[in-house]
Amino acid sequence: MIDRRMGIFLAGLFVLAVVVPVGNLALAGQPVPTYLVALIGKYLCYALLAVALDLVWGYCGILSLGHGAFFALGGYAMGMYLMREIGDRGVYANPSVPDFMVFIGWKELPWYWWGFDHFALAAAMVVIAPGLLAFVFGWFAFRSRVTGVYLSIITQAMTYALMLAFFRNDMGFGGNNGLTDFKDILGFDLAQPATKVGLMVLSALALAGGLVLARWVTGSRLGKVLVCVRDAESRTRFLGYRVEHYKLFIFTLSAMMAGVAGALYVPQVGIINPSEFSPANSIEIVIWVALGGRGTLVGAALGAIVVAAAKTVLTGALPEAWLYALGALFILVTLVLPTGVVGALEDTLSRLRGTPPRKEAKA
Amino acid sequence: MTQPIGGLPPVAQPQLYLDGVSRSFDGFKAINNLSLVIEHGELRAVIGPNGAGKTTMMDIITGKTRPDTGQVLWEQTVDLTRLDEAATARLGIGRKFQKPTVFESHTVQDNLTLALKADRSPWATLFRRGSAPERSRIDELLALTRLGDHRFRLAGALSHGQKQWLEIGMLLAQEPRLLLVDEPAAGMTDAETMLTADLLKSIAGERSVIVVEHDMEFVRALGCKVTVLHQGAVLAEGRLDAVSAMPDVIEVYLGR
Ligand SMILES: Nc1ncnc2c1ncn2[C@@H]1O[C@H](COP(=O)(O)OP(=O)(O)O)[C@@H](O)[C@H]1O
Ligand SMILES: [Mg+2]
């Protein structure tokens, strides 16, 4: 089930998950600085998010321009738990509501915050909230047979609407500032390098798990039906498949995966705010996947890591240049490498070996 | 079978019954008061000039297009106008398109496997694995469509004629009770065309078959009742010889 491409990637991930902790915690002189640990953890979360998008876009042809919303919802669910963990250690030392609620004059916790002091409930909400949104949204969209550009536009509208909603203070999610000033997670101090290392290793595990799950789903007969839907939706219907059910399944699964990525991201970056819902964020995910190689899973993950790393470097050096660089890269890949870097690489390799290239995804 | 009562002839039990069906697109009547009855196991050829409404008729039967008026009944009980494509497929109506449509990025074998009659729910397909009976059924279909050597090739790499055969194989894999076959001979050699006619003849009887075709040689080879469609309505019906001798039919065909 795990092909060579994924085998190599998982092995690399394993090495990373060993080398980074050892380099940060065990070796003298700390060759891996702590800021880098958190940065790598963040990239791994992006990679999982990219895999989630590749599931729907690469395999089922659903170009979601709103996947950032599912990521952000997972992040907010985790953020709510982290806020409750602060307890009375906030600036206002109020044990019953978080600081930002004290600030806007709320005396009691709104009902939708109930239970978020329990990690188990928050963890469940990490997948339930994005999953439910994806299910309801998809149920209406797919049943009405909204496809192509129209679907992309309404996913974009969805994340935009959520961004506006989360900006409002009276939504009870911290408005503009979002949720931040976290202290610890399950009793572990978030400022400690060991906690950061633990979160980074967890992110690597989640990415590996997400990749294996995605591989299993796409390799199953259901995965083959998804490709049928992508390539010839109408034909698939005439074979008796309820296309909308298949889309709903993969869209919901993908949203849940994105939620997990968001939940791991928030404690590592220390904040979640409404800008995570911004349409530009969702478009960036699409660029990762397109660059790495649509319909290759591993390519999507690599695309996310490479582009995010490039962004860190470039925004440090030339802040204004980043958006132009990203746009140029995207256009270049779309024109020159329609199957992404991984697709082009494998086509070249197999041509060198004289075997026909495997066509997993058609761009 | 219903027994004749009081010496009356047996009541006909059609597989498919269309009555007074009309459908217009932007004021243009693509189907105009069309009536058609297909018996169980019948083989029927539908001919007619381009734009006569043959494909639209199939769209209506399979739930892709809703008629404006008229009745479409399956086995006298099921109102097909209320069903969508997936539902009519599950009832047992299989369809081959005018333009061959196969899943190009899947292998020939996968195309057939995905078409096999089975539970179509996402859960079932997520967990289903290949089984021995399934494999032998695929072997049969590969032999029948003479695609055995191409089993592991991507369907997109097949020739036009081979795609036609693959689609016919996928149709049979569904084990439908009614096959709607739109211009199967397009892009086939003469020999392949005759083989297709033989295949469709052998399928009929067990299943009902409606074939739309332009190729008169092909229709002659089918040797079945012919319906001539013109401007969305039935112009003539009967044996090919009789029908093609009718002045109306000659005019429609020669007038084009
Ligand atoms: N979805 C549609 N929208 C508009 N016009 C259509 C549609 N489907 C069919 N038509 C028109 O109906 C007429 C009959 O078409 P069709 O059924 O494809 O004919 P045939 O298959 O007999 O060549 C044509 O004039 C075609 O343009
Ligand atoms: Mg036609």
Contact B40, B13 (CB under 8 A): yes
Query: In the structure encoding, which two tokens stand for residue B229, read together?
Result: 């469609």
Tell me, yes or no, if A225 comes closer than 8 A to chain B by beta carbon.
yes
What is the maximal distance between C-alpha atoms in chain A?
71
Provide the residue type at A261 as one letter.
A
Chain B: closest CA distance from residue A118 (Å): 32
Which residues are registered as beta bridge partners of B38?
A: B16
Q: What's the whole-number mean pLDDT along residues B57-61?
A: 96
pLDDT at A16 over 80: yes
Residue A357 lies in a domain: no
Closest CA to A59 of A299, A306, A337: A299
Residue A127 lies in a domain: yes
- Using the beta-carbon criterion (under 8 Å), do A220 and B127 form an inter-chain contact? yes
Which amino acids bring their CB within 6 angstroms of ligand 1?
B 25, 30, 48, 50-56
**CA-CA distances (angstroms) from residue A47 to A63, A114, A207, A258, B21?**
17, 31, 7, 10, 54
Q: Using the Cα atoms of residue B148, residue B129, residue A53 and residue A200 in order, give the sign of their dihedral.
A: negative
Q: Domains along chain B? A: 16-103+176-254 (3.40.50.300)
pLDDT of the residue at B5: 44
Residue A248 lies in a domain: yes
pLDDT at B26 over 50: yes
* DSSP state string for A229-243: HHH-HHHHHHTT--H
Domain count, chain A: 1
Query: In the structure encoding, which two tokens stand for residue A331, read together?
Result: 């256009």
Alpha helices in chain B (DSSP H): 54-61, 85-91, 108-115, 122-127, 132-144, 160-173, 190-203, 216-222, 240-244, 247-254
Query: In the structure encoding, which two tokens stand for residue A192, read together?
Result: 């400690």
pLDDT of the residue at B255: 56
Query: When comparing pLDDT for A76 and B185, which is higher?
Result: A76
Query: In the structure encoding, which two tokens stand for residue B220, read together?
Result: 């002659």
Residue B120: list chain A partners with CB under 8 A: 239-242
What three-state secondary structure class fits B123? helix
pLDDT of the residue at B100: 85
Contact A183, A190 (CB under 8 A): yes
pLDDT of the residue at B8: 45
Closest CA to B22 of B83, B81, B105: B81
Residue A77 lies in a domain: yes
Query: When comparing pLDDT for A330 and A15, which is higher?
Result: A15
Residue A164 lies in a domain: yes
Residue A363 lies in a domain: no
Contact A57, A294 (CB under 8 A): yes
Contact B168, B197 (CB under 8 A): no
Give the Cα separation of B81 and B64 in Å (integer): 9
How many helical (H) and strand (E) elements, i.e. helices and strands, does chain B have? 10, 10
Which residues are registered as beta bridge partners of B73?
A: B17, B79
pLDDT of the residue at B1: 41
Tell me, yes or no, if A217 comes closer than 8 A to chain B by beta carbon.
yes
pLDDT of the residue at A314: 87
Give the Cα separation of A348 and A337 in Å (integer): 11
Query: What average pLDDT does chain A have?
Result: 93
pLDDT at B34 over 50: yes
> Using 50, 70 and 90 to split pLDDT, how confident is the model at B254?
low
Residue A175 lies in a domain: yes
The residue whose two tokens read 């690469």 is A58
Give the Cα separation of A54 and B205 in Å (integer): 47
> Using 50, 70 and 90 to split pLDDT, how confident is the model at A355?
low
From the list B62, B106, B120, which residue is nearest A224 (CB)?
B106
Distance from the CA of B19 to the center of ligand 1, in angstroms? 19
Instruction: List, as own/partner pairs, every contact residues A102-109 make where C-beta atoms lie below 8 angstroms and the sequence separation is at least 24, other chains included.
Output: A104/A169, A104/A170, A106/A172
Alpha helices in chain A (DSSP H): 4-21, 34-60, 67-86, 99-103, 119-143, 148-167, 193-219, 221-231, 233-238, 243-269, 279-292, 298-317, 321-336, 340-353
Closest CA to A263 of A160, A195, A185: A185
Look at chain A and count its residues. Answer: 363
Q: What is the dihedral of CA A126, A127, A128, A132, to 10 degrees?
A: 120
Residue to mutate (ligand 1; options B22, B24, B29, B55; most atoms within 8 A of CB): B55
Residue A301 lies in a domain: no
pLDDT of the residue at B251: 84
Contact B94, B174 (CB under 8 A): yes
Q: What's the whole-number mean pLDDT along residues A270-281?
A: 96
* B153-179 pLDDT per residue, tens: 999 999 988 998 999 999 999 999 999
- Using the beta-carbon criterion (under 8 Å), do A239 and B115 form an inter-chain contact? yes
Residue A239: list chain B partners with CB under 8 A: 89, 114-115, 120, 170, 174
Residue ranges making up the domain that contains A69: 4-276
Q: What's the whole-number mean pLDDT along residues A350-360?
A: 63
Query: In the structure encoding, which two tokens stand for residue B49, read together?
Result: 């000039």
Contact A42, A208 (CB under 8 A): no
* B194-209 pLDDT per residue, tens: 999 999 999 999 999 9
Radius of gyration of chain B (CA): 19
Q: What backbone torsions phi and psi does residue B176 show, to the nearest 5 degrees?
A: -75, 165
> Using 50, 70 and 90 to split pLDDT, how confident is the model at A6?
very high
Q: What backbone torsions phi and psi does residue B215 show, to the nearest 5 degrees?
A: -70, 110
| Cβ-Cβ contacts under 8 Å for A114 (sequence gap 6 or more) | none
pLDDT at A211 over 60: yes
- Residue of chain A minimizing CA distance to B112: A239
Q: What's the whole-number mean pLDDT along residues A8-23?
A: 96
Q: Using the Cα atoms of residue B50, residue B51, residue B54 and residue B55 in order, give the sign of their dihedral.
A: positive
